[in-house]
Amino acid sequence: MPRIARILAHLIFGLVVLSGTAWSATALWLHLSGAPRLLALAALGAAALAALVLRARSRRAGWGALLVAALAVGGWYQTITPQQSRTWDRDVARGVTARVEGDIVTLGNVRDFDWTSPTEATERWIERRHDLDRLETVDMLTSVWDSPDIAHLLVSFGFADGEHVVFSVEIRREAGERFNEIGGFFRQFELVLIGATERDIVRLRTDHRQEDVRMYPVLLTPEQRRAMFLSYVGLAQRLEAEPAFYNTLTANCTTVVYQLAKTLKSDLPLDWRLVMSGHLPEYLDSLGVLGGDGPLVDRIAAAGIGERARAAAGREYSDAIRGR
């Protein structure tokens, strides 16, 4: 084998070992602690070193050692499964449940907390019955807490009786646990669908977390509104039957909603704005379903509801945040 080819083969093998070791070390660090973590990391380092030494002597031996190590780590990783019964933070302690009887959908575990701070609230979980024939509106809410390129997505469904229910795909944090993007790639967090009243989930973000919350009407036909609502109902039922993991890239608040929205349009295009979720209004506008009047920049500016939300005390909350 020519010298350059041999060097290139060694470099490729080294990169595979380095990337695999980095991925495995991150997974071990996130899921283990104390002595088990140290022992696992030491074993991982020894396996990587052994693969490199064996590769210098024999290509087959090096790749064989790497395969054994990959199977060991992969086998362990497959034992990490999502759970329903952990000690959850109270705001995600219950995922919404759903039961469908004809046109009537009964939602259980709808969150209706009275928040007094970003972390303290008087808890209340309620049951709601909604008639799909009376479903009138769909609104998208984006909530930005740091970078304007990244927003949390919530979808609010409005009914003829004035009631609204908001669905929010979130990480299901354990008590005292904090979200981090890296952990979201490594099965650290379960996925939960929260169903909540607007006076709970919107007020928490506008008043107590001081996030930049914007509301946009989504232009759908009655049939599309119904299908979109029922897609959330289906997700609630699936998560109640079988838990799932959150993933920072493939199963987050926007990508899950994208999968739900494909019930409306099976060939709905993938787009970078599904990841850079602060640009979702532009994406919806490109699809022709973003409501409002005037140029997009004016609609984005007019969508902010923070001031109205903070001034809504003593008024009908859902009407107030819509400027009625």
DSSP string, 158-217: EETTS-EEEEEEEEEPBTT----TTGGGTT-SEEEEEEE-HHHHHHIIIIIS--EEEEEE
Asked whether the predicted pLDDT for residue 198 surpasses 90, the reply is: yes
Token pair, residue 312, equals 């809504």
Mean pLDDT for 90-96 is: 96
Q: How far apart are CA 104 and CA 87, in angstroms?
A: 32
* Confidence at 284, pLDDT banded by 50, 70, 90: very high
Please give the average per-residue pLDDT across 249-271, as a whole number: 85
User: Contact at 8 Å (CB) between 191 and 297?
Assistant: no
Q: Would you state the structure tokens that stand for residue 168, as one six-digit string?
A: 């929010």
Q: Which helix (H) or strand (E) holds 153?
A: strand 152-159
pLDDT value at position 180?
Answer: 87
Mean confidence (pLDDT) of the chain: 93
Element holding 83 (H helix, E strand) = none
**Full DSSP string of 307-323:** HHHHT-TTS-HHHHHTT
Percentages helix, strand, coil for the chain (3-state, rounded to 5) are: 45, 20, 30
| Cβ 264 vs Cβ 228: under 8 Å | yes
222-250: average pLDDT: 95
pLDDT for res 314: 63
Nearest one of 148, 120, 27 to 76, comparing CA atoms: 27
Does 83 have pLDDT greater than 60?
A: yes
Q: What is the pTM of this model?
A: 0.91
End-to-end CA distance of the chain: 77
Q: What is the mean pLDDT of residues 188-208?
A: 96
Quote the pLDDT of residue 45.
95
| Residue 239: pLDDT band with limits 50, 70, 90 | very high
Tokens of residue 53, six digits: 């030494």
Question: Which H or E run includes 105?
Answer: strand 104-111
Mean pLDDT along residues 92-107: 97
- pLDDT tens by residue, 141-178: 999 998 889 999 999 999 999 999 999 999 999 998 88
Torsion of CA 278, 283, 285, 288, to 10 degrees: -150
pLDDT tens profile 130-142: 999 999 999 999 9
**For the segment 7-49, what is each residue's pLDDT rounded down to a tens digit?**
788 899 999 999 999 999 999 999 999 999 999 999 999 999 9
pLDDT of 90 above 60: yes
Question: Is the pLDDT at 1 greater than 60, yes or no?
Answer: no
Token pair belonging to 183: 């952990």
The mean pLDDT value for 230-245 works out to 96
Nearest residue to 90 via CA among 117, 113, 62: 113
The pLDDT value recorded for residue 77 is 96
Please report, for residues 159, 240, 246, 260, 268, the alpha-carbon distance to residue 164 in angstroms, rounded to integers and kept in the order given: 6, 22, 26, 19, 26
Q: List residues bridging with 156 in a β-sheet.
A: 139, 166
Judged against a pLDDT cut of 80, whether residue 63 lies above it is answered with yes
Percent of the chain with pLDDT over 70: 99
Residue percentage of the chain with pLDDT more than 90: 78
Alpha carbons 5 and 11: distance in angstroms, whole number: 10
